């Protein structure tokens, strides 16, 4: 049994079908709006029925806000490593650090040769991949010249750069022992497919990777275990793969927007809950040594004050303390939010089917997240008041971490709202205009309200920057959050009243 303790991630694997390009983009946007982590595509440049993978990922990155993109996996024989490295770094810079790189040795050698690529034996292909990793990492370093004198790739005195916006992960599609050892020595992730490496084969393959990592002086936890799973794999099966075999990123093939929505709304959260419950149970029980994830290490082990996206036990305890104080502040009337529309839809989703009911479900998710956002803001407000009364008893670093955690959460929420509105503006609203011209005034108003909400989200971001920098305090933050609450809730209610019946008739697309 091996659980490397990695945070779970979930992604999709749409076929880059050139005859269904709009659908591929719609599924990618749905993944972004639904809160999934990855959009990945296969790379077969010789396939005339496929969109070019890099061009497709560039458009996906431009039309999304938070989801990361990756080749699953790059066809190295037809992607020169210098060009591949610079393509990945460029897209990472342009997308705000949302690119990862899956690499493979290549397959279908007749097709590769027909496209002008080399024909390699398995041994030659593995050697070429190792050389390519050296070239790619050299280009990404952004320091000095790159020189690799290999059998397949020779680079001498090449100027490195550009450096990507974040440390791009290199994930290898590996199955044979030599490739698995290469993964343990050099890669950031292992990316097999269930169809080629079933669950029963994972323990031995993981052991080979772990042994090679230790021999190279690496912690096996440094290698994330990703898995292209079969469609229909249940949350219980995914949880077992995480807890028993250490697989932590699950990527599923999808053929419709509904496939994406179901995976995001049903499978991913159920899997997370199962894994978290079992990890909590194991942590509470006396046990032997636990394999830890470098991403989950305490701040003292990382050598920093704790990242915004990774709230450690100390921060959770502090937030719990401020939550108690916030409750007391609310009871005493120190802060009263303005009256707002109901926190849940006034439209009965059970009375509708299809797209109308789904819109209400999405909106209810936004309402729940907004309520959580308001509660976190009130926790920070209460924490500041406590610091003012007992300044010497409060650890300033903890307070700073709370503020940054709030900032990271608000940023994530704001991107989710913006992504949802962008999907409506680009796809759903034009469809409804065509289907029912009488809806034009309603849709015009909704589009204008999207712009207003976007402006309020920008104000929220400015208020968070001011809070962390000390340029402004929590009253300004509270004012903007109150305005966001009023504006967004009124917008959601109006949209449901006007559009749910139309969506029941015409659907999203």
Do 281 and 326 fall within a single domain?
no
Which of left, alpha, beta for 398 (phi over 0: left; psi -120 to 50: alpha)?
A: alpha
Report yes or no on 292 lying in a domain.
Answer: no
Rounded to two decimals, the pTM is 0.64
Q: Are 148 and 154 spatial neighbours (Cβ–Cβ below 8 Å)?
A: yes
Query: What spatial distance separates the first Cα and last Cα of the chain, rounded to whole Å?
Result: 45
- For residues 301 and 351, give the distance between their C-alpha atoms in angstroms, rounded to a whole number: 53
Report yes or no on 243 lying in a domain.
Answer: yes
pLDDT along the chain (509 residues), means of 10: 92 97 92 90 97 97 92 98 98 94 96 97 97 98 95 97 96 98 98 96 98 97 97 96 98 95 92 93 68 37 31 32 32 39 58 76 83 77 42 28 54 67 77 92 92 86 71 82 91 92 84
Report yes or no on 306 lying in a domain.
Answer: no
Do 21 and 81 fall within a single domain?
yes
Q: Are 306 and 457 spatial neighbours (Cβ–Cβ below 8 Å)?
A: no
| pLDDT score at 307 | 30
Burial class (CB in 10 A: 0-12, 13-18, 19+), 370: buried
| pLDDT score at 363 | 86
Last-in-domain residue among 285, 300, 333 = 285
Do 323 and 231 fall within a single domain?
no
Do 281 and 400 fall within a single domain?
no
Report yes or no on 304 lying in a domain.
Answer: no
Instruction: Give the count of domains, the chain.
Output: 2
Do 41 and 117 fall within a single domain?
yes
| pLDDT score at 408 | 57
Do 277 and 323 fall within a single domain?
no
| pLDDT score at 468 | 61
Preceding peptide of 162 cis, ω within 30°: yes
Determine how β-strand 154-159 pairs with β-strand 145-149. Answer: antiparallel
Report yes or no on 4 lying in a domain.
Answer: no
**Structural domain range at position 463:** 313-506
Provide CB contacts within 8 A for 250, sequence distance 6+.
8, 9, 10, 11, 226, 227, 229, 233, 238, 241, 271
Do 280 and 352 fall within a single domain?
no
Q: CATH no. for residue 217? A: 3.20.20.30
| pLDDT score at 93 | 94
Q: For residue 10, give the H/E element and its range.
A: strand 9-12
Phi, psi (5° rounding) for residue 38?
Answer: -140, 145
**Residue whose C-alpha is closest to residue 359's, from 501, 480, 202, 148:** 501
Q: CATH no. for residue 340? A: 1.20.120
Determine how β-strand 145-149 pairs with β-strand 9-12. Answer: unpaired
Do 130 and 245 fall within a single domain?
yes
- Map residue 38 onto helix, strand or coil: strand
């Amino acid at each position: 049994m091996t659980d490397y303790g990695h945070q779970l991630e979930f992604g999709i694997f749409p076929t880059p079908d050139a005859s269904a390009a709009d659908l591929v983009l719609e599924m990618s946007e749905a993944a972004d709006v639904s809160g999934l982590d990855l959009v990945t595509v296969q790379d077969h440049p010789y396939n005339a029925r496929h969109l070019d993978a890099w061009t497709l990922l560039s458009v996906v990155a431009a039309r999304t806000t938070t989801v990361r993109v990756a080749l699953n996996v790059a066809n190295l024989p037809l992607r020169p490593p210098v060009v591949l490295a610079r393509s990945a770094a460029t897209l990472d810079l342009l997308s705000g650090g949302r690119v990862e790189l899956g690499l493979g040795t290549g397959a279908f050698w007749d097709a590769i040769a027909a496209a002008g690529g080399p024909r390699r034996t398995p041994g030659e292909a593995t050697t070429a991949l190792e050389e390519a990793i050296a070239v790619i990492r050299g280009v990404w370093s952004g320091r000095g010249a790159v020189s690799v004198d290999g059998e397949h790739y020779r680079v001498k005195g090449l100027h490195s750069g550009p450096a990507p916006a974040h440390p791009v992960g290199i994930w290898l599609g590996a199955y044979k022992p030599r490739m698995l050892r290469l993964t343990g020595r050099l890669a950031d992730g292992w990316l097999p497919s269930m169809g080629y490496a079933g669950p029963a084969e994972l323990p031995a393959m993981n052991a080979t990777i772990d042994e090679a990592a230790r021999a190279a002086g690496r912690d096996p936890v440094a290698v994330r275990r990703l898995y292209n799973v079969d469609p229909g794999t249940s949350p219980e099966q995914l949880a077992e793969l995480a807890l028993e075999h250490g697989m932590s990123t699950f990527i599923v093939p999808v053929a419709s927007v509904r496939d994406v929505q179901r995976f995001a709304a049903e499978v991913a959260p159920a899997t997370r809950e199962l894994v978290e419950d079992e990890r909590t149970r194991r942590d509470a029980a006396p046990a032997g040594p636990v394999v830890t994830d470098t991403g989950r290490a305490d701040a003292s082990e990382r050598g920093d004050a704790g990242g915004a996206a990774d709230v450690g036990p100390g921060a959770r305890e502090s937030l719990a303390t401020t939550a108690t104080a916030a409750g007391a502040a609310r009871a005493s009337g120190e802060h009263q939010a303005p009256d707002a529309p109901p926190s849940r839809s006034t439209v009965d989703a059970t009375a509708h089917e299809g797209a109308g009911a789904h819109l209400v479900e999405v909106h209810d998710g936004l309402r729940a997240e907004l309520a959580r956002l308001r509660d976190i803001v009130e926790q920070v407000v209460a924490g500041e008041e406590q610091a003012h009364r007992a300044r010497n008893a409060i650890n300033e670093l903890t307070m700073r971490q709370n503020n940054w955690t709030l900032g990271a959460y608000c940023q994530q929420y704001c991107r989710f709202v913006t992504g949802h509105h962008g999907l409506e503006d680009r796809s759903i609203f034009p469809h409804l205009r065509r289907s029912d011209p009488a809806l034009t005034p309603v849709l015009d108003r909704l589009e204008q309200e999207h712009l207003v909400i976007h402006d309020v989200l920008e104000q929220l971001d400015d208020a968070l920057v001011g809070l962390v920098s000390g340029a402004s305090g929590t009253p300004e933050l509270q004012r903007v959050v109150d305005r966001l609450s009023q504006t967004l809730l009124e917008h959601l209610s109006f949209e449901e009243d006007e559009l749910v019946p139309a969506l029941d008739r015409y659907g999203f697309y």
